[in-house]
Structures are given as C-alpha cells and as structure tokens.
Structure 1
Amino acid sequence: MLQYVDLPLISSKYKCLNCFLFLFPIFISIHLGSFAGFTWSKKSVTSTMEKSWMLWTFVKRWLLALASWSWSLCRICLLPLIVTFHLYGGIMLLILIFVSIAGILYKFQDVLLYFPEQPSSSRLYVPMPTGIPHENIFIKTKDGVLLNLILLRYTGDNAAYSPTIIYFHGNAGNIGHRLPNALLMLVNLKVNLILVDYRGYGKSEGEASEEGLYLDSEAVLDYVMTRSDLDKTKIFLFGRSLGGAVAIHLASENSHRISAIVVENTFLSIPYMASTLFSFFPMRYLPLWCYKNKFLSYRKISQCRMPSLFISGLSDQLIPPVMMKQLYELSPARTKRLAIFPDGTHNDTWQCQGYFTALEQFIKEVIKSHSPEEMAKTSSNVTII
C-alpha cells in the first residue's frame, strides 16, 4: 500500500539542489545494492585477504540493507517522485521513478501468484476427513516454519506395502479443499496420501515464496522417510498446477528417494506464464532476475529420470495445455506417459472419465518395473489418451 509523503516548500533558488541532495544518496544506494549481489572472483587465500573478505562481507550486508531500505523508501515516495519530476524534470528522477515502479511490481508478484485466502475462510478452517483413518500432523522445516499435513491411510489388503503419494496442491485454498480428490485416490489407487499445506496456507505458519515452498517439500519428504509404517521404496510425488512445479523441483533434487512423479496441468516456468498471460512486447524480453518467483520446471525436468506421468486437460483455460506436452517431451525418463483428457479443465481434470484408470495403470507399471525383467520390457514414449 502506498503512503504519501508531502514535499516541503523550497525556495526557488535551492529547489533543484535540495531535491538532488535528497535523492542522490537513495539513487547511489540502489545501484550499490544492485551490484553487491554479484559474485566476486576468488583470489589467492592469505590471512590478509581473509580479513579483507570478512570486511567486505560486512560492508556488503550493510549496503544490501541500505539498498533495501532505499528501495522501500522509493516505493513509498513514488507519488512525490512523480510530482517532483513533473515540476522539475531530470534523468535521475525518471530513473528513480522506474526503479520504484519495478520495486512495487517485484513485491506485487507474490500477490499475483499465491492465493492462500481464497476462499476467504481458507486460513481459518481446514476441512478434515470423517470416517477415514487419518492423522493431522505438524512438522517443522529447516528454517523453523511449522507446516500442517494430513495423512490418509489405506487399510485394505497388503496395506504395509501400499505406495505413498505426497500431494502438492495448487496456488489457492488449503489441503481440506482437496479431500474429495484425495479420497477418490485413496479408494481407487489403494495408496496412502500425504496432503501438504505450504507455508502461509491453511494452518501452516509463515509466508509463501518459491524458496519457502522448496523447503516445505524437502521437510515433508524427510518426514516420510522417518515413518517406519510407510514403504520408503514406493514414494510417488503428485503435483497439480503450482504443485507440479514443487513436485518437479523435489524430484530433481531427490532422484534416489523418489519412485515416480505425476504432474497435472502445470507450467514450464513463471516467466513463460507471464509472457503468455501478458503477451505485450516488454514481458517477453524481461530477464530472469526481474522475476521474484521463477519455478523453472522446464530446466529441472531434465534431472527427473524416474518414471513420470504427465496429465493434461485440453480444456484448461489458465495454463496452456501445450506446456504439459513440452514438459513431457523434455523429460529424459525411460518410462514416461502423457495422459490427455479433451474435456479436462484446470482444476477438474480429475473428474474426467478414465482419469483414475490412467493413474492406476501408471502406478502398477512403476511397481512392476522394480524387477529387472520388467524393466527390460519397459518401452518409452507411450501416450495414453
């Protein structure tokens, strides 16, 4: 929210000079802060250099803090900057205005991506399953954030050997809103499910961010590995929309612990989504550092060699279905499948006929492929329609 600061009246003789003296330190701080993040080349290590490096680290932190403060001040003073530029002009003021607008847009990206309060009760009330064996769990991430999970237990035949699916949901609501989908997975697929509320969602603490969501996913996987009652050799990741990007990242960093991944109606990256949704000229050429959240799935999928299922609803009006096909083509997995549902929308593809059949077939194929003779029979590039 912008705060408006009144500019003091200045005598005509010193107007421009005072404006310059007031704004110049801010401008310098911003530029110092911009360049302070660059990695400096390593030099020979001596005791003198080590001391100099420690001093520079301290100075760099101070400059970054000063730059952050100056950037915040510029955003707060955007209206006065515009008024001053209108009255007196000047390249420096114009640059400061652009920097202020960039700062506002940079901060505003979270508002455009994360919707933990839609619907409005999502942070207050998380529906729980009734009549189904389940656990309401709280775990801590490496940075101390408390997360809320729901574990749905399969209690049928051979329950001890059932696969476990870690379920990463989309960018709105909470895990309780995914229970109808999850319960059908439980019944049709005969699996355990762990539903994850990211930081800032549902009853989880904190505030959502790309790095934060990655830490959340790591914490959940670490927790699953501590459970003696879950088969650690059959861990599947499922992610829909934003959750697909989280699942791909987690799989790319933990290929030795993940049996397979399933992603549904997800995107190549946030920059690709931005250029699709806002197709006017400048968006297509913005460098990556302009994006606070990137979620570069198109890069990370190259590290996911485990069996992969890509589910695409061709009636998705939010994320272009072609992105799912491109992720499928970029995947290096020997066993990869593309399940296409012509009537599938962004959130409701799971209600299409044949959806759970495709999932069940894939899971059975992955479990069978653990035997050497079955792995030799596995063919790649097979499409399920």
Structure 2
Amino acid sequence: MRGRLLIGGAVVVIIVAVVFGSAFAFQRRLIYLPSGGPVPSAAEVLPGGRDVALRTADGLTLTSWYFPVAAPRAAVLVAPGNAGNRSLRAPLARALHAAGVATLLLDYRGYGGNPGSPTEAGLALDVRAAREFLAAQARVPLVYFGESLGAAVVAGLAVDFPPAALVLRSPFTDLAAVARRHYPFLPVRLLLLDTFPVADQVARVPAPVTVVYGGADSIVPPEQSRAVAAAAGGRAVEVPGADHNDPVLLDGPAVIAAITAAAG
C-alpha cells in the first residue's frame, strides 16, 4: 500500500512539473500571436502612405507604415495588440488620416514579416525606434495609442518619453493579473518572464491619460482597465456591450474620438 502511495505521489509530482514546465517554456507562444506576411504596402492602404524602416537599438530593421497628412495637428504612434499584424489596423489608420492626424502604425519584431522574436524588452526597443522616427518626421505633438498589449508597450515608453497625451484601449493592470484570470491554476507571477506593469507605469506619466474599454470584455476584465485609468488619474470611457476584439474597439467612434481629442 505504501509503495502504491509513493508511486501515486510521484506521478502527481511529475504531472505538476510537466504542466508548470510547459507553461514556463511556451508562455511567449501564448502571449504573442504574430501573423507574418505578406503585408500590403502603405500606399495600397492610403494614397501617400509610406513603408518605413525603423532601426532598433539592438540592430533590427522593422518595417512599419507611416501616413503623413498636410499640416497635422498632432501625430499618433499606434502600438498594436498581441495578435495579427498591421494590416488588421488599416481601418484605424484610415480613420485617423481622415481626422487630420499623422499616424505611424508600428509592427513589432516577429510581426508582419519583421525579424526577431517578441519579448517585453524587445517591444520596448521597437516602440522607442518608432517614437524616434515619428518625432523626427512629424515635428508636432505626439500622442501614444496602444491597444491591449500595446497599451502596456506605450505605457512603458511614456515613462521615459512623455507624450502630449496617452490613449490606452483595453489595458490590463499588469500581465500577471490578466494571466491569472485565464490560468487560475498556475502560479503566474512566479512563471512569467514578461511582466508589463501598466498601472504602476501610468501612475508616473505626467501626460493626460484616457482609457477606452469594452463593458463586456472577456479577455481583459473591465475592472482592470478602470483600475489603470484610476492609477493614472485619467478618464475612463466605457463602450457598453463591447468585447475585446469587437470592431467597435478597433476603429469605432469612442476610440477615434478619444485619440482625436487627445490630439487637440
């Protein structure tokens, strides 16, 4: 009997070790869901659009889209979420262009045919390269806009390089908080390699912050987005009934209004 108990206990330990080990080893495949290519040219999305090459501090060349406008009132750096590539954000680029705002639509390393593999540190380098390009090109006030994971990316950027305004769509308080919602059986804070401490970072940003979120978000709990707005001392805008990936949160009226209001 004792031998069977020992064997049973050993099997449980092995299963737990395999589950935790797999969660640790493959976590970035669960966090980052890039689409490769092909990606259309910027000019196919909008006349006058430009494919641009961004050079990161660690030596990568990332292709992204830049959509200039005549006499822009501001320029927006768009940091996408964790899935797809910039082609999914073409409707957003068109809407912002129509509003008279110059727009840089970033694709991270590993996304849209770009080299490299995404990590928290890597995406921080990517968005810094994007900001450097946009500041040199536009020479007008900069607004940072990030969706979901991209909200975490621009929140980190805003600490070191404060924008004129920061607009976050469906942000989480930190990566562990949202991961715990979906994997409650795992000790996510011990396992995560990337942390993205959004709430802590926005509390240190001097720029005005607007948070737009869906009232029926099944990926990032609405209360987390509201907590980010509270930490920033900013404004929270709920889109009633909207889930995380609904089109209304891509280029809907509330999103565009928040960005254009931030642009002044």
Fold match, TM over 0.5? yes
Distance 1:148 1:135 in 2: 10
User: What's 2:216 paired with?
Assistant: 315
Distance 2:68 2:61 in 1: 22
Equivalent residues in 2 for 1:7-156, closer than 5 Å: 101-117=19-35, 123-128=36-41, 129-130=43-44, 131-155=46-70
Give the SS at the match of 1:137: strand
Equivalent residues in 2 for 1:322-333, closer than 5 Å: 322-332=223-233
User: What's 1:360 paired with?
Assistant: 260
Change (3 A) 1:116 1:324: same
User: What's 1:201 paired with?
Assistant: 111
1:339 aligned onto 2:257: no
Q: Structure 1 stretch 128-137 or stretch 214-223: which is displaced more?
A: 128-137
User: What's 1:269 paired with?
Assistant: 174
Distance 2:252 2:142 in 1: 25
CA shift for structure 1 position 209? 1.0
Q: What's the C-alpha RMSD, in Å, of the aligned pairs? A: 2.5
Distance 2:32 2:121 in 1: 13
Q: Which structure dedicates a bigger proportion of its chain to strand?
A: 2
Answer yes or no: is the 8 Å Cα contact 2:210–2:236 preserved in 1.
Answer: yes
Distance 2:50 2:154 in 1: 22
Change (3 A) 1:351 1:92: closer
Answer yes or no: is the 8 Å Cα contact 1:344–1:352 preserved in 2.
Answer: no
- Could you tell me the percent identity over the aligned residues? 24
CA shift for structure 1 position 288? 3.0
**What's the CA shift string for 1:270-317, capped at 9, x where partnerless?**
1101211123xx43xx36342122111121111112111111121222
Change (3 A) 1:361 1:236: closer
Give the SS at the match of 1:207: coil
CA shift for structure 1 position 148? 1.1
User: What's 1:13 paired with?
Assistant: none
1:168 aligned onto 2:79: yes
Q: 5+ unaligned residues in a row in structure 1: which ranges?
A: 1-85, 118-122, 365-385
Distance 1:175 1:359 in 2: 18
CA shift for structure 1 position 249? 0.8
CA shift for structure 1 position 92? 9.9
What amino acid is aligned across from residue 54 of structure 2 in structure 1?
Answer: I
Give the TM-score normalised by structure 2.
Answer: 0.87
Give the SS at the match of 1:197: coil
User: What's 2:126 paired with?
Assistant: 216
User: What's 1:245 paired with?
Assistant: 152
Distance 1:355 1:143 in 2: 33
Answer yes or no: is the 8 Å Cα contact 2:145–2:259 preserved in 1.
Answer: no
Give the TM-score normalised by structure 1.
Answer: 0.61
1:231 aligned onto 2:139: yes
Larger radius of gyration: 1
User: What's 2:93 paired with?
Assistant: 182
User: What's 1:300 paired with?
Assistant: 201
**What's the CA shift string for 1:293-347, capped at 9, x where partnerless?**
2111121111112111111121222211111111011114xxx322221133323
Give the SS at the match of 2:83: coil
What amino acid is aligned across from residue 166 of structure 1 in structure 2?
Answer: L
Structure with more relative contact order (C-alpha pairs < 8 Å, separation 6 or more): 2
Answer yes or no: is the 8 Å Cα contact 2:166–2:262 preserved in 1.
Answer: no
- Paired residues, what number? 256
Change (3 A) 1:306 1:170: same
